[in-house]
């Protein structure tokens, strides 16, 4: 019997994914300094698309120069990036997977080093609550409108570059998230009185551009964080209200950002999982993408059998083991990589900067210890 996560899924717009496994958007830190994809990055995406997964969601691509969140990240802020974006889309599509460009603005999560001396911007001039965070400049009303249009322009570039869709990044404390948060949004204009307004305006602009320029089966997804642990922060109840509205926007999927698939809400004493809350509110109106430490067949089977999600995004396992999907499908789970061999970078097609992160960040994957006693 074919597991449900191996089966095709037709999205609301008619586009069909050949299976329900997506590569989660994972930052590679590997582009050129101008935002063009590097040769290593192209090889990285091509290798993972070739493995047979249904879709590849790229690392976040910034939609304005001041929206870059990292050095060496993908740019979608200028028509100068079109050749690069075409290379990424082709690398994914030519190897059999659906290509989705994640578009974002880092807002106050950027810094003057990334912005070449510029000041990061946000909904309000409030720094993120961590040591060393820079205080952003509050966006003017005109700049907010320009930023909304920039999401539309990045979508146009994705269409012209040949991508099959875009994912609006409204999660993980970046600018769209910042407008929804009472910690970072202290405005008293329409963008502060209704903290959901910016999320909905960006979504409307992306939909407008797609309706005008794309084919009927161009995919629009939206990624969101379920709640916030800053003080003050938005609650799961507030986010449920926004997602209820977005579920009526005829999007092709909503993508929850979780560390563990069955994580419980901070505020739920009964321990109900966050994804269950959102699945109930969405109620089948649009597919929900679940994510969070789905590394083994047992874990994916358990997530799929819950009925909470129709799609499943896999991050670290696909990054560190490009053949993760076919190994699971072929019943070769015993061949999955369980530790990183520091000498194996080239065999895995992992770019230099990302490889350094994998080896240095605790918790990514166990690193094989050298037995060389010389």
Instruction: Please spell the DSSP secondary structure of 35-85, one letter per residue.
Output: SPPPHHHHHHHHHHHTTT-SEEEPSPEESSGGG--STT-EE-SSGGGHHHH
Query: Does 171 fall in a domain?
Result: yes
CA distances from 26 to 74, 84, 116, 214, 348 (A): 12, 18, 24, 26, 16
Query: Does 190 fall in a domain?
Result: yes
Query: Does 170 fall in a domain?
Result: yes
Nearest in space to 66 (alpha carbons), one of 99, 13, 125, 109: 109
* Cβ-based neighbours of 274, under 8 Å, separated by 6 or more: 226, 227, 236, 256, 258, 263, 264, 265
Query: Does 360 fall in a domain?
Result: no
pLDDT at residue 373 tops 50: no
Q: What is the pLDDT of residue 1?
A: 63
Number of domains into which the chain is organized? 1
Q: pLDDT band at residue 368, thresholds of 50, 70 and 90?
A: confident
Query: Does 218 fall in a domain?
Result: yes
- Host domain of residue 39: 4-330
pLDDT at residue 26 tops 90: yes
- Residue 221 in contact with residue 160, Cβ under 8 Å? no
DSSP state of 31: S
pLDDT at residue 370 tops 70: no
pLDDT at residue 371 tops 80: no
| Burial tier of 133 (Cβ tally within 10 Å: 0-12, 13-18, 19+) | middle
Mean pLDDT value across residues 14-19: 98
Mean pLDDT value across residues 68-75: 97
Q: What is the pLDDT of residue 361?
A: 83
Query: Does 154 fall in a domain?
Result: yes
At 88, which helix (H) or strand (E)? helix 82-93
Mean pLDDT value across residues 208-216: 96
- Residue 176 in contact with residue 202, Cβ under 8 Å? yes
pLDDT single digits (tens) 245-292: 999 999 999 999 999 999 998 877 678 999 999 999 999 999 999 999
Q: What is the pTM of this model?
A: 0.97
- CATH code (residue 149): 3.20.20.70
pLDDT single digits (tens) 140-176: 999 999 999 999 999 999 999 999 999 999 999 999 9
Query: Does 354 fall in a domain?
Result: no
pLDDT at residue 138 tops 70: yes
What whole-number distance in Å separates Cα of residue 312 and Cα of residue 101?
17
Computed from CA positions of residues 204, 246, 313, 50, in that sequence, does the dihedral angle turn out positive or negative? negative
pLDDT single digits (tens) 83-134: 999 999 999 999 999 999 999 999 999 999 999 999 999 999 999 999 999 9
Q: What is the pLDDT of residue 374?
A: 39
Query: Does 62 fall in a domain?
Result: yes
């Amino acid at each position: 019997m074919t597991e449900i996560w191996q089966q095709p899924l037709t999205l609301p717009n008619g586009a069909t994914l050949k299976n329900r496994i997506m590569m989660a958007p994972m930052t590679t830190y590997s582009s050129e300094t101008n935002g063009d994809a590097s040769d290593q990055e192209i090889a990285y995406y091509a290798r993972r698309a070739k493995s047979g997964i249904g879709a590849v969601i790229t690392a976040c691509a910034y939609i304005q120069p001041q929206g870059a969140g990292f050095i060496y990240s993908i740019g979608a802020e200028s028509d100068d990036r079109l050749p690069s974006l075409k290379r990424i889309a082709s690398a994914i599509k030519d190897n059999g997977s659906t290509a989705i460009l994640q578009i974002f603005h880092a807002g106050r999560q950027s810094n003057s080093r990334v912005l070449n001396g510029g000041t990061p911007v946000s909904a309000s001039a409030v720094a993120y609550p961590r040591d060393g965070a820079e205080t952003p400049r509050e966006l003017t009303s005109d700049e907010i409108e320009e930023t909304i249009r920039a999401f539309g322009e990045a979508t146009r570039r994705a269409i012209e570059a040949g991508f099959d869709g875009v994912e609006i990044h409204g999660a993980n404390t970046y600018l769209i998230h910042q407008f929804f948060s009472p910690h970072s949004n202290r405005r008293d204009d329409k963008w502060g009185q209704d903290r959901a307004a910016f999320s909905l305006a960006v979504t409307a602009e992306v939909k407008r551009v797609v309706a005008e320029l794309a084919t009927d089966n161009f995919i629009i997804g939206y990624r969101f964080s379920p709640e916030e642990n800053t003080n003050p922060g938005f609650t799961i109840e507030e986010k449920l209200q926004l997602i209820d509205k977005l579920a009526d926007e005829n999007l092709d999927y909503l993508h929850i950002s979780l560390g563990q698939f069955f994580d419980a809400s901070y505020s739920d004493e009964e321990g109900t999982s966050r994804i269950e809350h959102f699945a109930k509110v969405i109620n089948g109106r649009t597919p929900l993408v679940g994510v969070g430490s789905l590394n083994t067949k047992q874990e994916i089977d358990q997530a799929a059998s819950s009925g909470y999600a129709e799609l499943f995004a896999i991050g670290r396992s696909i990054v560190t083991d490009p053949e993760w999907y076919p190994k699971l499908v072929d019943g070769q789970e015993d061949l999955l990589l369980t530790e990183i061999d520091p000498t194996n970078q080239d065999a895995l097609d992992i770019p230099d900067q990302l490889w350094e992160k994998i080896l240095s960040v605790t918790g990514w994957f166990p690193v094989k210890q050298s037995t060389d006693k010389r």
